[in-house]
C-alpha cells in the first residue's frame, strides 16, 4: 500500500518574524522539486498569517499547520483560537494531544477527542500525538498507553474519523532528548497502532499516515523511513534550522518505500 509520507516541522515556542522569513525562503527554494513527500510547518500562532503570505503563490508545496486549537467555536474564551480562524487563515493540519500540552496544560484524552471532533467538523486534518512516558516504557506499557490514547477518539467518534487524519507516535522519552527510538522499536509500535485500527477498519488502517516523532534528525531519519509502517516524521528541534529540516525531507523524498 502506497502512503505519501508527511514531514512536519513543529516549531513549538520558537521563532520571530525574521526567522519565519528566513526559514520559509530557504525551504521554498530548496524544496520546490519535492514530489514523493508532503511537507508542512507549524509555527507559533502569531506567525501563521505571515507564514501563509510567504507560502502562498510560490513554487514550494509546503502546507501550514497549527500547534493547537480550542474546543469552543466562539465566545468568551480569553486567549483561545477557534477552528474557523485557523481554517480562514489557510491552515490544513492541527497538532493535538502533544505530550507537552498533556503535561503542561493538563489536556486529557477527552479534551483531545473533542478537539479532534471540531477539527473534523470543518475539514481540518488532526495530527493526533500519542506515546508513552519513560516510566510507562520501562514498565512495558507502551501499547496499553497508545491504545488508551486512541480509544477515546475511537469510542466517541468511530474509526471513520481517522479517514483523513494523521497519527504521530511520539514516545515522550524521545522528545528533545537526542535519544530517538530505534527504527525497530518505532516500527513495532507503529505496526501495533495500524493493526489496532485495522481491527475496526482495514481500509482506514491501510491509508492512515503514522508519523514518528522524537529526536528525528538528518542522521537517523533515513533508517526510520525504511520501516514499513513509518510514514514520515513530526520534527521538533531539527525543524528550526533549514539545512537539518531539508535533509530530513530529502530522506523521505528518497526513501525506497515511498516511491
Ligand atoms: P524533537 O524533534 O525536538 O525531539 O521534538 C519532537 C516533537 O515533540 C515534535 O512534535
The answer to whether 12 is annotated as binding is yes
173 is annotated as contributing to ligand binding: no
| pLDDT score, position 99 | 98
- Residue 26 belongs to a domain: yes
What confidence score (pLDDT) does residue 150 get? 98
- In this structure, what are the phi and psi dihedrals at residue 237, rounded to the nearest 5 degrees? -50, -45
Mean pLDDT of 29-47: 94
Ordered DSSP codes for 234-252: EESGGGSSHHHHHHHHHHH
Average pLDDT, integer, range 67-92: 97
Domain contains 186: yes
pLDDT recorded at residue 139: 98
* Pocket, ligand 1, Cβ cutoff 6 A: 10, 98, 170, 175-176, 213-216, 234-238
CA distance 158 to 150: 11
Cα gap 143→193, rounded to integer Å = 8
Does residue 1 form part of some domain? no
255 falls within a domain: no
**Domain-embedded: residue 98:** yes
CA of 216 to the centre of ligand 1 (A): 7
- Its pTM stands at 0.97
| Domain around 18 | 6-247
Give the model's confidence band at 60: pLDDT under 50 very low, under 70 low, under 90 confident, else very high. low
Mutate to test the pocket of ligand 1, among 94, 99, 130, 234 (most ligand atoms within 8 A of CB): 234
Residue with cell 507537552: 100
Q: Give me the chain's average pLDDT, please.
A: 96
Does the annotation place 79 within a ligand binding site? Answer: no
Is 84 marked as binding a ligand? no
Q: Per-residue pLDDT averaged across 93-99, rounded?
A: 98
Question: Is-catalytic flag, 190?
Answer: no
Of 132, 130, 224, nearest to 180 by C-alpha is: 224
pLDDT at position 19 is 97
Residue 170 annotated to the active site: yes
Quick one: CA dihedral 177, 96, 85, 82, positive or negative? negative
| Closest ligand 1 atom to Cα of 95 | 10
Q: Is the pLDDT of residue 79 over 60?
A: yes
Pocket test for ligand 1, best of 133, 224, 237 (most atoms within 8 A of CB): 237
pLDDT at 43: 98
At 11, the pLDDT band (50, 70, 90 cuts) reads: very high
Catalytic residue, chosen from 98, 100, 107, 253, is 98
> With left for phi above 0 and alpha for psi between -120 and 50, is residue 176 left, alpha or beta?
left
Give how far Cα 194 sits from Cα of 5, 136, 202, 239, Å.
Answer: 15, 20, 9, 26
Instruction: Indicate whether 256 belongs to any domain.
Output: no
Residue 225 lies in a domain: yes
In a domain, 215, yes or no: yes
Give yes or no for residue 141 having a pLDDT over 60: yes
Helices (H), 32-175: 48-55, 83-88, 99-104, 109-122, 134-138, 142-157
Look up residue 218 and give its three cell numbers.
538528518
Do β-strands 62-66 and 93-96 pair in parallel, antiparallel, or remain unpaired?
parallel
- Would you state the pLDDT for residue 58? 55
How many structural domains are present in the chain?
1
Amino acid at each position: 500500500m502506497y502512503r505519501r509520507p508527511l514531514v512536519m516541522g513543529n516549531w513549538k515556542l520558537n521563532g520571530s518574524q525574521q526567522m519565519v522569513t528566513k526559514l520559509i525562503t530557504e525551504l521554498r527554494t530548496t524544496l520546490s522539486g519535492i514530489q514523493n513527500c508532503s511537507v508542512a510547518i507549524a509555527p507559533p500562532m502569531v506567525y501563521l498569517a505571515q507564514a501563509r503570505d510567504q507560502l502562498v503563490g510560490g513554487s514550494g508545496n509546503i502546507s501550514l499547520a497549527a500547534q493547537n486549537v480550542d474546543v469552543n467555536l466562539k465566545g468568551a474564551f480569553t486567549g483561545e483560537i477557534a477552528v474557523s480562524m485557523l481554517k480562514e487563515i489557510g491552515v490544513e493540519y492541527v497538532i493535538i494531544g502533544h505530550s507537552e500540552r498533556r503535561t503542561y496544560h493538563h489536556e486529557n484524552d477527552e479534551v483531545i477527542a473533542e478537539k479532534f471532533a471540531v477539527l473534523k467538523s470543518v475539514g481540518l486534518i488532526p495530527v493526533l500525538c500519542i506515546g508513552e512516558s519513560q516510566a510507562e516504557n520501562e514498565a512495558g506499557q507502551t501499547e496499553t498507553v497508545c491504545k488508551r490514547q486512541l480509544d477515546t477518539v475511537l469510542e466517541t467518534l468511530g474509526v471513520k474519523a481517522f479517514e483523513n487524519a494523521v497519527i504521530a507516535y511520539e514516545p515522550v522519552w524521545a522528545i528533545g532528548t537526542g535519544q530517538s527510538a530505534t527504527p525497530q522499536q518505532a516500527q513495532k509500535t507503529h505496526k501495533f497502532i495500524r493493526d489496532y485500527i485495522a481491527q475496526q477498519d482495514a481500509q482506514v488502517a491501510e491509508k492512515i499516515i503514522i508519523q514518528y516523532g522524537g529526536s528525528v534528525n538528518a542522521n537517523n531519519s533515513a533508517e526510520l523511513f525504511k520501516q514499513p509502517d513509518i510514514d514520515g516524521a513530526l520534527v521538533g528541534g531539527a525543524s528550526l534550522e533549514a539545512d537539518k529540516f531539508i535533509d530530513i525531507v530529502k530522506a523521505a523524498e528518497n526513501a525506497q518505500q515511498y516511491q
